Amino acid sequence: MEVETSDLIAICSLVIAFFAYMHTVKSSQSTSTQIQKISEEHLKLSSNVALTEATQKYVLLLSDVNHQFELITKELAYQALVASRCIGVSFDKYDTEKNSHPYLRHCFHKAITLVREAYDHELTYQTGLNLTDRIRSLKYIKDDVHQYEKLSSEKSIFSFLKKERPPQTPEEKINSSTVFWDSAKEIYTRISGNEEAKLFNETLGHLDEYRKLHESKREQLQKLEERLEAAIKENALEMFDIRDIPNLGQKFYRVKSDIGRYRELHFPDFHGIESVQVSDGIAYSIYAGSVVFIASQHFMWGKI
């Protein structure tokens, strides 16, 4: 009986020892896991700290460039807005039906607002040269206005039943806009063709301050853009891509492209035009007004 008791005690001791061993193993594994987790978190923190330090120079550069850019656009936007308003007043001046409504300045404003809104999305990514080249097509809308008058008179009362593909490009949006063409038609109906050259000469006068200021700021804009371009080239040699940094990469490239777009919002096609009699003065003035209105709305690009 004593042997059996000792055997039982031995077995119990063995079981206790086994559970103690398992507890030790699990504790050891838990400790190892915790140590591994702490090590990984420390490594991640160290990596984030290193990345933050590495990107700090780009944050400071962007902040400085963007600040200077905003100061420049603030000056230009003001002159651009003044120019667009004054052009609208000139439309009223040459109105043959001065007591009629709507006032032609309002028709002009509707037209250039539609253009601004049509190009809104492309003002977030398209190059300045591409945009200004396409907007210049507004200089040649005279025949289209007359064609629109003809189509309007021939339009079927059931035309609303016809399903059409929604406009995709800015040009398609303008072309399909009754607001734009009704406004243009009203302007052409109430301003004599003989007065178009005079209207455009006044438009050039209204643009003068903006054009001079833009010319004086163009080199500064180019240098700001070049600073960001140099930083992008420098970043190409580093272990991280600035575009992958939240809240920095996207803003970095957006500011750079905005500078490039704003740098092109002037009128190289108007060089020496003062000495020419422009018979399409209404269309040229709508084109000019559209450009300066877009310039005045920089703070709203891409937000419509």
3-class DSSP string for 204-253: HHHHHHHHHHHHHHHHHHHHHHHHHHHHHHHHCCCCCCHHHCCCCHHHHH
**Stretch 147-151: mean pLDDT:** 70
Q: What is the pLDDT of residue 20?
A: 55
Q: What is the pLDDT of residue 39?
A: 41
CA–CA separation, 137 and 170 (whole Å): 12
Q: What is the pLDDT of residue 5?
A: 63
CA–CA separation, 231 and 242 (whole Å): 10
For 227-270, the pLDDT digits (tens) are 999 999 998 888 888 888 888 889 999 999 999 999 999 999 99
- Cβ neighbours around 161 below 10 Å, total: 7
**Stretch 21-34: mean pLDDT:** 52
Q: What is the pLDDT of residue 110?
A: 97
Q: What is the pLDDT of residue 50?
A: 53
What values do phi and psi take at 265, rounded to 5? Answer: -85, 65
Residues, the chain: 304
Q: What does the block give as tokens for 65?
A: 């460039």
Q: What is the pLDDT of residue 46?
A: 41
Q: Which of 28-32, 64-68, 290-294 has the lowest mean pLDDT?
A: 28-32
Tell me the residue type at 81.
L
Q: What is the pLDDT of residue 300?
A: 94
Evaluate if residue 87 carries a pLDDT over 70: yes
Q: Contact, 88 vs 109, CB < 8 A? A: yes
CA–CA separation, 260 and 301 (whole Å): 14
pTM of the model: 0.80
Share of the chain above pLDDT 70, in %: 78
Q: Which of 84-88, 108-112, 246-250 has the lowest mean pLDDT?
A: 246-250
Evaluate if residue 218 carries a pLDDT over 70: yes
Q: What does the block give as tokens for 18?
A: 């086994």
**Stretch 89-114: mean pLDDT:** 95
Q: What is the pLDDT of residue 188?
A: 96
**Stretch 29-41: mean pLDDT:** 48
CA 95, distance to chain mean position in Å, is: 35
Evaluate if residue 161 carries a pLDDT over 60: no
CB-side neighbour CA atoms (13 Å) of 249: 9
CA–CA separation, 282 and 200 (whole Å): 7
- Cβ neighbours around 267 below 10 Å, total: 18
**Stretch 133-160: mean pLDDT:** 76
Q: What is the pLDDT of residue 41?
A: 47
The torsion defined by the Cα of 234, 238, 242 and 243, in degrees rounded to 10, comes to 110
More confident residue, 177 or 28: 177
Evaluate if residue 154 carries a pLDDT over 70: no
Q: Contact, 263 vs 128, CB < 8 A? A: yes
CA–CA separation, 161 and 163 (whole Å): 6
CA–CA separation, 202 and 224 (whole Å): 33
